[in-house]
Amino acid sequence: MNKYNFLDLASLIGIFLVLFLALFLLTVKTKHKLGNQLFAFFLIGNAVDACKYFIHHVPENFINLEVFRWSIVYLVPASFYFYVMSICFSNFRLKPKHLLHAIPFIAYNLYLMSGIYFENTAMKLDFIKGMNQMPINHFFQFLFELLFQVYFIASFLVIRKAKTVYLENYTNPNISVINALYKITIVYYLLHFLVLLRWLVTFIMGVGEIRQLIVTFDGFAFLFCTCWYLFIALNNPEFFRGVNSHLKPITEVVPKQKPSPIIDDEKNKQIEYLKKLMTEKEPYLDSSLTIQDLSEQVKIPVKDLSTLINLYMDKHFFDFVNEFRIEKAMQILRDSSQKELTVLEILYQVGFNSKSSFNTSFKKYTGKTPSDFRKQTL
């Protein structure tokens, strides 16, 4: 079996896995239906594009279908960006204005229509042979690269903003999924550089052995990334619940202040009252506590409460609440009458819902694991 057969096999396996995952995403029952549909479309677009690995020449009987396949890539970056938006922001919905993102796809098909779709086979093949010398074709190649960079950089910015808003407004400590989403974005972004390398080699050296080796490596990278994403999905069966897109990072809603804002008597009273309420009423025991919930209990507007915690106390809402949870856990771990409780039972009791997050927060706060802390105090 030569390297081309290996590439064909790897491509077929990768495409099968991608389409299988897309089918699962489209049929599984979940509250993240829009996100699943968008990612399924992104995967299908990648599978369609990956057919290039075992299509070694333009099939004369299906030229229109093959060149239409080329145009699908103009929808793929936008679909990934919308997928990121749907995962990061719980209230994201597709709207008619989002159809504007399909303009490059439509424009490329209009270009193909002028020389391929309505011509005879001989003229189609002649047009295809001369495409690489056409300035308009170079323009569309540049446009695709520009779109890819813009959409993926925008995806990185959306993920960063969502994580900031999440830490400032929510306390559910499971942020592993948004970190996984960040890694997925990086992997697909890096994978794209193989495409750039292939284009560069083709432009400088033409179609030859080096280009074919890059295509082969690209095909195996596609298979690897598909398998890797399946692994990520299996380890994170419930994606990041998403934040409200109307929420903004505290630095955007509060006027710029000095690094250490002056804490006056009023702010001191609010801080003391907040700490007293947290200690006496223990709202942090609710694992789904948000800053909106706490705002209602302390009778302080959400924006003012967020400013108080993030600027005047210099803590994320996430860390602020988890400190009380850790203190409560430490009390239980010190209590010999509750030594029968397992660490898992304790973490749920104090408001955590993930063992890994509890262990990470506990060690960050105390320098010890919960088990070591218990052994040293009992």
Containing domain of residue 308, as a range?
Answer: 250-377
pLDDT of residue 155 exceeding 90, the answer is: yes
- Helix (H), strand (E) at residue 218: helix 209-235
Min mean pLDDT across 25-39, 111-125, 162-176, 223-237 is at 223-237
Token output for 13: 């396996």
Based on the domain organization, do 277 and 170 belong to the same domain?
Answer: no
d(CA 74, CA 273): 55
CATH of the domain at 308: 1.10.10.60
Give a yes or no: residue 204 inside a domain: yes
What's the rounded mean pLDDT across residues 107-124? Answer: 89
Residue 97, Ramachandran bin (φ over 0: left; ψ between -120 and 50: alpha; else beta): alpha
d(CA 90, CA 236): 17
What's the rounded mean pLDDT across residues 288-316? Answer: 85
Based on the domain organization, do 201 and 347 belong to the same domain?
Answer: no
Token output for 24: 């699962």
Based on the domain organization, do 160 and 211 belong to the same domain?
Answer: yes
pLDDT of residue 258 exceeding 70, the answer is: no
Nearest Cα neighbor of 348 from 277, 276, 288 is 288
Nearest Cα neighbor of 319 from 166, 160, 158 is 166
d(CA 39, CA 33): 10
Based on the domain organization, do 261 and 215 belong to the same domain?
Answer: no
Last residue of a domain, one of 175, 209, 235: 235
* Inter-residue contact 183 to 241 (CB < 8 Å): no
Based on the domain organization, do 229 and 354 belong to the same domain?
Answer: no
Based on the domain organization, do 274 and 215 belong to the same domain?
Answer: no
What angle do the packed helices 3-27 and 209-235 form, to 10 degrees? Answer: 30
How many Cα atoms are found within 13 Å in the side-chain-facing hemisphere of 104? 23
CATH of the domain at 34: 1.20.1070
The length of the chain in residues reads: 378
Banded model confidence at residue 254, pLDDT cuts 50, 70, 90: low
Number of structural domains in the chain: 2
Token output for 301: 């507007």
* Inter-residue contact 289 to 324 (CB < 8 Å): no
Based on the domain organization, do 42 and 120 belong to the same domain?
Answer: yes
Banded model confidence at residue 172, pLDDT cuts 50, 70, 90: low
Give a yes or no: residue 9 inside a domain: yes
Record the pTM. Answer: 0.70
* Inter-residue contact 100 to 75 (CB < 8 Å): no
Q: What is the pLDDT of residue 242?
A: 54
d(CA 165, CA 252): 11
Give a yes or no: residue 260 inside a domain: yes
Q: What is the pLDDT of residue 355?
A: 81
Based on the domain organization, do 195 and 108 belong to the same domain?
Answer: yes
Based on the domain organization, do 152 and 257 belong to the same domain?
Answer: no
